[in-house]
Amino acid sequence: MRSRLPVVLVLPAVIGLVFLLVPLAGLLINAPWATLPAQLFSQEVGQALRLSLICASLATVVCLVLGVPLAWLLARSDLPGRGVLRALVTVPLVLPPVVGGVALLLVLGRRGVVGQYLDQWFGISLPFTTAGVVLAEAFVAMPFLVISVEGALRAADPRYEEAAATLGASRWLTFRRVTLPGVMPGVIAGTVLCWARALGEFGATITFAGNFPGRTTTMPLAVYLALETDPDAAIVLSIVLLLVSVAVLAGLRDKWISGPS
Amino acid sequence: MKRVLVLTLLLAGCGSPAATSTGGDITVFAAASLTESFTKLGTAFEAAHPGSKVRFSFAGSSALAQQINQGAPADVFAAAAPANMKQVTDTGAVTATPATFARNTLQIAVPRGNPGRVTGLADFAKADLKIALCAEQVPCGAAAKKVFEAAGVKAAPDTLEQDVKAVLTKVSLGEVDAALVYRTDVKAAGGKVEGEDFAEAANAVNDYPVAPLAKAPNAPTAKAFVDFVLSGRGREVLIEAGFSAP
């Protein structure tokens, strides 16, 4: 049986889809297809792409390790001022990324509040390093993970956890065996968002980690600089970044999110 | 209606440059390095031409050139390099002959107190110093490349920034020991950054061209603004900001 789709929903949905996809079509139409293969396999592109994938993945790991517990704290604990904390966690979402980068410099830079001790005591200087790129990306991307995991946790039925507790499970065991599997779709959606955001990160990265080929030049930075002199190259780089991210995201989706839920 | 408009345009175009023909809003696209001086010039222009309002869009010259070529409704374009002006004259977005209104030269910028004890271009080759330069794709980076070639110094930068203001931020925060920026940027940074002149700067003098756009929505005021930038009063403001006269 077929039910009629309501026009009130379908029309804006289609407009929304077109709105999101037309800029992508613009890139594809303007792509210099003749020189594309040569650009694709140039050393700089390979270097920037590899660095982007590595940094975005490491940043996502950082976000998972720190973000999931943070989401749990926000959703399950009875901390005073939880609402304020939750709002504060979303600050990197609102902050222009360049400002986020400056903030990171002020804290972790060579003269920063914390950074000056890192430098003096351990000789660690984070700006202009690959580790700096990972940090900048994690800073900007973590709220996406926290918010989606927290939403899933709040929507989950706490009675399962209570049941586990009455059966004698510790809180850690309950978290691992009951809570986490229950919110897995939320965690995966958050991870995907977080990774995608990290991959496209520009402002905080170039401000905090700078731009040096092979060390801190990720794809978005390469795209921006290419735009200055060679818009065609910038389009090619953008398409490469898009294709790779779409391929990875589609692959993950098939593997983890499909099937009966 | 159309005829009236044409007539008005004709009158505005042919009439003597009376103060009455200017007025209304204009949008000026100007290189990021002109932020301080052009903001001042805009205020002075508005005072001299009552009823006019100057709005600015400051950004990297090549980004602005691309916006103009994509049809951004600007009246005047002031670029940091002739190459960026060429981007818009090539497409016919600017048909008037651009006029050079200022020159800028590079200076060595160090954080206050000069913690890296940088005294000249040769220090830029030291691996233990943190060095910031502009990326070669942007004008200040191209200029830096020229002076290093002239000086025979192989620079060892730690970062190649996307524009001169980003370089300046790294210097004023003390994250780098030395950088090459324009003299005007050092001046704009106030006391946080110290500037040092060097002889090789003469190898990369940057000319700033200005021109009204062919499709300027407010052509008379656009022309008046360009004239104002080129006037004695305009030059005064620019020199105060650290530019030199062309």
Cβ pair A225:B173 closer than 8 A: no
Q: What are phi and psi of B159, to 5 degrees?
A: -155, 145
Q: Assess if residue B245 is contained within a domain.
A: no
Q: What is the pLDDT of residue B109?
A: 96
Q: What are phi and psi of B92, to 5 degrees?
A: 85, 5
Alpha-carbon dihedral angle through residues B156, B159, B160, B161, given to the nearest 10 degrees:
-150
User: What is the tens place of the pLDDT at every residue in A200-219?
Assistant: 999 999 999 999 999 999 99
Cβ pair A207:B159 closer than 8 A: no
User: What is the tens place of the pLDDT at every residue in B59-105?
Assistant: 888 889 989 999 899 999 999 889 899 999 999 999 999 999 999 99
What is the share, in percent, of chain A residues with pLDDT greater than 90?
51
Cα–Cα distance measured from residue A155 to residue A147, given in angstroms and rounded to the nearest whole number = 12
Residue B175: list chain A partners with CB under 8 A: 105, 109-111, 127-128
Q: What is the pLDDT of residue B189?
A: 87
Q: What is the pLDDT of residue A228?
A: 77
**Which residue from B minimizes the CA distance to A98?**
B166
Q: How confident is the model at residue B21 (pLDDT cuts 50, 70, 90)?
A: low
Q: How confident is the model at residue A106 (pLDDT cuts 50, 70, 90)?
A: very high
Of A237, A224, A203, the residue nearest A93 (C-alpha)? A203
Q: Are residues B6 and B99 in the same domain?
A: yes
Q: Assess if residue B167 is contained within a domain.
A: yes
Structural contact between residues B220 and B214, judged by C-beta atoms closer than 8 angstroms: no
- CATH numbers and ranges of domains, chain A: 42-256 (1.10.3720.10)
Q: What is the pLDDT of residue A65?
A: 97
Q: How confident is the model at residue B12 (pLDDT cuts 50, 70, 90)?
A: very low
Those residues with Cβ within 8 angstroms of residue B168's Cβ, 6 or more apart along the chain or in another chain: B109, B179, B181, B185, B186, B188, B189, B193
Q: Assess if residue B144 is contained within a domain.
A: yes
Q: What is the pLDDT of residue A256?
A: 60
Q: How confident is the model at residue A257 (pLDDT cuts 50, 70, 90)?
A: low
**Which residue from A minimizes the CA distance to B177?**
A110
Cβ pair B166:A207 closer than 8 A: yes
* Number of domains present in the structure of chain B: 2
Does B128 have pLDDT greater than 80? yes
Q: What is the pLDDT of residue A260?
A: 43
Assign residue B27 the CATH number of its domain. Answer: 3.40.190.10
Q: What is the pLDDT of residue A254?
A: 66
Q: What is the pLDDT of residue B4?
A: 46
Greater confidence (B233 vs A248) lies with B233
Residue B162: list chain A partners with CB under 8 A: 206, 211, 221, 224-225, 228
Q: Are residues B72 and B23 in the same domain?
A: yes
Does B6 have pLDDT greater than 60? no
Q: Are residues B64 and B137 in the same domain?
A: no
Cβ pair B166:A206 closer than 8 A: yes
Task: Average the pLDDT over B199-228 and give the result.
Answer: 92
Planar angle of CA A5, A6, A10, nearest 5 degrees? 80
The H-assigned helical ranges of chain B are 2-14, 35-48, 61-69, 82-90, 139-151, 164-172, 183-188, 219-230, 232-240
Task: Average the pLDDT over B165-173 and give the result.
Answer: 91
Cα–Cα distance measured from residue B48 to residue A41, given in angstroms and rounded to the nearest whole number = 57
Q: How confident is the model at residue A136 (pLDDT cuts 50, 70, 90)?
A: very high
Beta strands in A130-213 (DSSP E): none
**Across the interface, which of B66, B132, B173 has its CB nearest the CB of A111?**
B173
User: What is the tens place of the pLDDT at every residue in B25-70?
Assistant: 999 999 988 988 999 999 999 999 999 999 999 988 888 998 999 9
Q: What are phi and psi of B101, to 5 degrees?
A: -115, -15
DSSP state of B244: B
Q: Are residues B118 and B188 in the same domain?
A: yes
Q: Assess if residue B246 is contained within a domain.
A: no
**Across the interface, which of A109, A212, A228 has its CB nearest the CB of B175?**
A109
Q: What is the pLDDT of residue A255?
A: 61
Does A134 have pLDDT greater than 70? yes
Q: Assess if residue B174 is contained within a domain.
A: yes
Q: What is the pLDDT of residue B121?
A: 93
Q: Are residues B110 and B97 in the same domain?
A: no
Cβ pair B173:A106 closer than 8 A: yes
Q: Which residue range is the domain that position B193 belongs to?
A: 106-203
Task: Average the pLDDT over B210-237 and give the result.
Answer: 94
A43 touches B: beta carbon within 8 Å:
no
**Which residue from A minimizes the CA distance to B136?**
A225
Q: Are residues B118 and B76 in the same domain?
A: no
Cβ pair B66:A227 closer than 8 A: yes
Structural contact between residues A137 and A55, judged by C-beta atoms closer than 8 angstroms: yes
Task: Average the pLDDT over B171-200 and give the result.
Answer: 92
CA distance A109 to chain B (A): 6
Cβ pair B66:A231 closer than 8 A: yes
**Which residue from A minimizes the CA distance to B65?**
A228
Cβ pair A128:B130 closer than 8 A: yes
A193 touches B: beta carbon within 8 Å:
no
Q: How confident is the model at residue A61 (pLDDT cuts 50, 70, 90)?
A: very high
Q: What is the pLDDT of residue A207?
A: 93
| Range in B7-11, B19-23, B109-113, B170-174 with the lowest mean pLDDT | B7-11
CA distance B44 to chain A (A): 31
Task: Average the pLDDT over B110-133 and give the result.
Answer: 94
Q: Are residues B110 and B129 in the same domain?
A: yes
